[in-house]
Every structure is written in C-alpha cells, then in structure tokens.
C-alpha cells in the first residue's frame, strides 16, 4: 500500500537556519548548530523526506548548496530543495547538490512557461509547487516572494492553475498558522486536498504529534510537514512517528 | 572490491554513492570505460529520466555491447530506469528496445483514480528465497518514483508491489538484479538491500 509521509522542513536564510513565525524569520544557527542539535543521520530515520527552503532576501545558490550538502550527507531519504528558483539553470544546480526534488513558488506566477519546461525536463514527480496563503476577509489569498507580495489570487484558483501546469505535488503552507504550534488549518487542507489532482503536503501550525495525526487522517493528504525547529528537537520526531504508527496511520516502516 | 556505477549521463549518483560507501568498504568509481567495467566485482546501473533517452545515451557510449557482455559474468543491479533498460522494451516515447537481459516490457500505469507517477514509500511482497531481501523484514517499504511498470518477466525470480495493479518491483537471477524503487532513498531497508547485493558471491 502506498504510504503517507512525515516531512521535516528547514528554513534557510543567508547562512542561517531559522524559526519562522507568521513568516517573520528568527535566525537560530548556522550549519554547525543544526548538525549539533539535530543529528540528521538519526532524525532522518523518523521522517520520510527532508525539505530545505532558501528564504534569503538575496539569493546565493552556491552558498545555499554548500550548506545543505553538509546536512544531507549520509541521509538516505528523498531531499527536496527550493526557494528563489528563477530558471532552469538554478534547478540544475540544486539537483547537482543532491536534491531529488525541487520546490517552486514565485516562478509559477512570474513564468509558468519556464515551469512547464522544468517539468518536462525533470518529470512532474520531481517538481513540487509550494503555496503560501493567508486568510483575508474570508478569502484565502496567495502570496509570493517569501510571503512578501500579495498576488490577489484566490487559493483554490491557484491550485487549479498549478494542477494545469503539471506540478507533481503541492506544499500548502498557511502563513497564519506558520510557527504558531496551534495545529494545521484543517478545513482549508480538506477542501484543497479534495480539489487538487496531485498529493498535498500540509505545512504550517504543527506543534505536536496530535497535529500530525489530525492532518494525516484527511483522506487525500499525502504528507504532513513541520518547519518548527524548537518543538521537534531531540527525540520528538521519533516519538511522533511511533505514536502515528500505533494509531494505525499508514506510514512506512523500516 | 571494485564497484562501478555506470555513468551514462542520467541519474543522480550522489545519493547512491554515499549510500554504498556507508554499507561497504570498497573501491567505488563512477565510470563508463570498458576497462573499468570489466574489472568490476559489482556493477550498478542507475537512472532517472526517460527510457528512449537512456538507450540513446548507452548506444552513443557503446555501452549496450559492453554491459551485455559484462553482465554474463559480473552481477549487475539496475535501479529505477536502470532496471527498466535491463529488460526487453518500453513503450515510453515510442516502443524502444532495451538491453534485453530480462524478457519483459514496460508500459505506463493507467488510472483515472490514482495519481501517476507512483511516488512514495510502498511495500514489496518478497518471493523467497531472495538474495536482495535477505534479513529484511516482511513486506518492507521502499521509495518509488515512476510512471512505467513491468507486469511480467520470464525466467527470473520476481517480487511484486501493489499500486493501481500488481507489478514487478524487483527481480533477481544469478547475475541480473533490478529494483524499480530507489534503495539509496529507502532508509535502512535500502541500505540493507545494497549491502546484500554487494556481499553476494556469484
């Protein structure tokens, strides 16, 4: 049976890994800090995938690649990199640095044609679309450029658009829930997962194992993710995974 | 021990190299030279991309002849697209002939209900006795990313996975081994499978 997934997300900005709260970034530590506090060769045994997103205001892909290569050494799970991809060239650099998948956000607004080219070259299975959205006056509005620019586009409309372009998965991130630890935006996740033709990865708000559980109970959700650096340190991911397996959530075993 | 990952311009070999180095102290090289390939104790044929492109690359590097001949005496493990091109043919692009070391044809998944490609961890129903899956738990999970699959293969021990329908997710004989999934992305199950292949004495 095809399994659901538990995913850990690292947010990177200008040499630092960050805790994000409602898209305001707090720099936590450099690569050394992450390596000291998250033993990735251990942590990776409890997750199905690792996503690393570059939220730097000014992108330096070479530096980002150097830093993430240290982290992914000796972890044998799929890795997805993203943030600030503006061309096919940027994509090939990230694949060369060890990515198995790439996540694209702003480029879907700025140049859908380039997105189609990237998808046709690397296959839809390796290209994830990420969405950052916020609730405004009863409408869910999609943002781009690390959540700094409101596009005015409704979430459901954007999901249909991304499905048409041909992305393989959608990483759905609630800016309102981001870093709060209050739990996922379940109602929206349910409606979007019923709308999308490709798997949804829920992100934003998970603070404990019960939140993962609630997200994974949604039928069409393929994965739940957290970028919360503080709530899932030490053995918290391991405890969460064991709990989810005890609760008969359909996760892989090894 | 010499291990050669066959380089034909398709495939992410970084993850594979690091997974192999972790399980086996060996002389690992990524190469497409005839000399290196014939001196290897174990061969690995990786691959991410399309079947027709893979065969075109193999032909232009004269690797069709070299691999076919080497695989008569050196165990070879094809991974994902690498497994596919070990077989007779695939309908990806247009009907394309493969290396034909295993008799079987790849066709695309068909479904309106399920998403294609098949992406994620899924279980393998292991047929025994297996070299690849020795000392790996029952119905182990491995990481898959593919749109084409093999329904039947002649004269080879095969192991199956269920997605849309039942397909062959791994096969093995004295010298020819293949996995549709990526052992290098499949945690400890994948590391153990790679170790089994590298420790195997033909």
Q: Is the pLDDT of residue A23 over 80?
A: yes
CB atoms within 10 A of CB B152: 10
pLDDT tens-digit profile of B25-82? 999 999 999 999 999 999 999 988 789 989 999 999 999 999 999 999 999 999 999 9
What are the CA-CA distances from residue B9 to residues B46, B104, B145 (Å)? 10, 24, 19
Whether residue A66 lies in the annotated active site: no
A132 - beta bridge partners?
A143, A173
Q: Domain tally for chain B? A: 1
Does A125 contact B147 at a Cβ distance shorter than 8 Å? yes
Residue B11 has pLDDT above 80, yes or no: no
A-B Cβ pairs (cutoff 8 Å, strict): 85
Contact B14 A98 (CB under 8 A): yes
- Yes or no: say if A6 and A244 are a contact pair by the CB < 8 Å rule: yes
CB proximity A219 to B under 8 Å: no
Instruction: Kindly state the tokens that stand for B13.
Output: 């070999």
Instruction: List the domain range (segments joined by +) for residue B51.
Output: 2-199
Q: What percent of chain B is predicted at pLDDT more than 90?
A: 87
Confidence of residue A87 (pLDDT cuts 50, 70, 90): confident
Q: Phi, psi (5° rounding) for residue A92?
A: -65, -30
Q: In sequence order, what are the residues at sequence separation of 6 or more whose Cβ sits closer than 8 angstroms to the Cβ of residue B33? A: none
pTM of the full predicted structure?
0.92
- Of B63, B68, B71, residue with least CA distance to B31: B63
Q: What is the pLDDT of residue B66?
A: 98
Residues 6+ apart with CB under 8 A from B112: none
pLDDT tens, position by position, A46-66: 999 999 999 999 999 999 999
The answer to whether B147 contacts chain A (CB < 8 Å) is yes
**Residue A238 predicted with pLDDT over 90:** yes
DSSP-assigned letter for residue B180: S
CA–CA min distance B119, chain A (Å): 7
CA-to-CA distance for B176 and A19, rounded, in angstroms?
Answer: 48
Query: Does the distance separating the beta carbons of B162 and A1 come in below 8 Å?
Result: yes
Domains of chain A and any CATH numbers: 5-246 (3.20.20.70)
Q: Where are the beta strands (DSSP E) in B91-185?
A: 96-97, 102-108, 118-123, 141-146, 148-150, 157-163, 165-172, 176-179
Per the CB < 8 A criterion, the answer to whether B44 and B74 are in contact is: no
Q: What is the ipTM of this complex?
A: 0.86
CA B32-B46-A163 angle, to 5 degrees, is 130
| pLDDT above 80 for A96 | yes
Pairing between strand A5-13 and A16-21? antiparallel
Residue B10: pLDDT above 80?
no
Indicate which CATH number applies to the domain containing B54: 3.40.50.880
Catalytic residue among A48, A54, A67, A132: A132
Query: Does the structure show a pLDDT above 80 at A233?
Result: no
pLDDT in tens, A188-202: 999 999 999 999 999
> Binning pLDDT at 50, 70 and 90, where does residue B117 land?
confident
Residue A124 has its nearest CB partner, among B49, B117, B162, at B117
Q: Nearest CA to B147 among B122, B119, B170?
A: B119
Least confident range from A16-25, A89-98, B118-127: namely A89-98
Question: Which residues of A fall within a CB distance of 8 Å from B141?
Answer: 3, 252-254
Map tokens 């959205």 to a residue.
A133
B72 is catalytic: no
């Amino acid at each position: 049976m095809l399994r659901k997934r538990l995913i850990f997300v690292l947010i990177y900005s200008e040499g630092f890994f960050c805790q994000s709260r409602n898209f305001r970034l707090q720099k936590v530590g450099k690569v050394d800090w992450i390596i000291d506090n998250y033993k990735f060769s251990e942590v990776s045994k409890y997750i199905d995938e690792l996503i690393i997103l570059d939220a730097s205001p000014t992108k330096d892909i070479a530096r980002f690649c150097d830093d993430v290569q240290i982290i992914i050494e000796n972890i044998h799970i799929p890795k997805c990199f993203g943030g600030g991809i503006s061309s096919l060239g940027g994509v090939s650099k990230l694949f060369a640095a060890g990515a198995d998948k790439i996540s694209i956000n702003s480029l879907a607004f700025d140049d859908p044609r380039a997105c189609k080219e990237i998808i046709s070259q690397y296959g839809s299975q390796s290209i994830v679309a990420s969405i950052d959205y916020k609730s405004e006056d009863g409408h869910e509005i999609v943002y781009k450029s690390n959540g700094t620019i409101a596009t005015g586009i409704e979430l459901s409309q954007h999901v249909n658009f991304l499905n048409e372009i041909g992305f393989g998965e959608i990483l759905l991130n609630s800016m309102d829930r981001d870093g709060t630890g209050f739990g996922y935006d379940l109602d929206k996740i349910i409606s979007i997962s019923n709308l999308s033709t490709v798997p949804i990865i829920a992100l934003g708000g998970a603070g404990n194992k019960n939140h993962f559980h609630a997200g994974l109970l949604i039928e069409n959700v393929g994965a739940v993710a957290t970028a919360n650096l503080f709530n899932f340190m030490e053995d918290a991911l391991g405890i969460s995974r064991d709990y989810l397996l005890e609760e008969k959530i359909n996760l892989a075993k090894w | 021990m010499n291990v050669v990952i066959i380089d034909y311009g398709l495939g992410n070999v970084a993850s594979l190299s690091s997974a192999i180095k972790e399980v086996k102290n060996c002389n690992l090289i990524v190469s497409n030279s005839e000399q290196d390939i014939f001196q290897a104790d174990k061969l690995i044929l990786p691959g991410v991309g399309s079947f027709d492109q893979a065969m075109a690359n193999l032909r232009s590097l004269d690797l069709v002849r070299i691999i076919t001949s080497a695989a008569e005496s050196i165990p070879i493990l094809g991974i994902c697209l690498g497994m596919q091109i070990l077989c007779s043919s695939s309908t990806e692009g247009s009907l394309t002939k493969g290396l034909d070391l295993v008799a079987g044809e790849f066709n695309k998944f068909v479904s309106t209900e399920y998403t294609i490609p098949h992406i994620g961890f899924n279980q393998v129903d292991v047929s025994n006795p297996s070299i690849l899956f020795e000392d790996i738990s029952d119905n182990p999970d491995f990481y898959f990313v593919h749109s084409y699959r093999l329904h039947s293969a002649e004269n080879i021990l095969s192991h199956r996975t269920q997605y849309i329908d039942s397909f062959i997710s791994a096969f093995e004989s004295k010298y020819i081994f293949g996995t549709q999934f990526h052992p290098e992305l499949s945690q400890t199950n994948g590391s153990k499978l790679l170790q089994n292949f590298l420790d195997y004495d033909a």
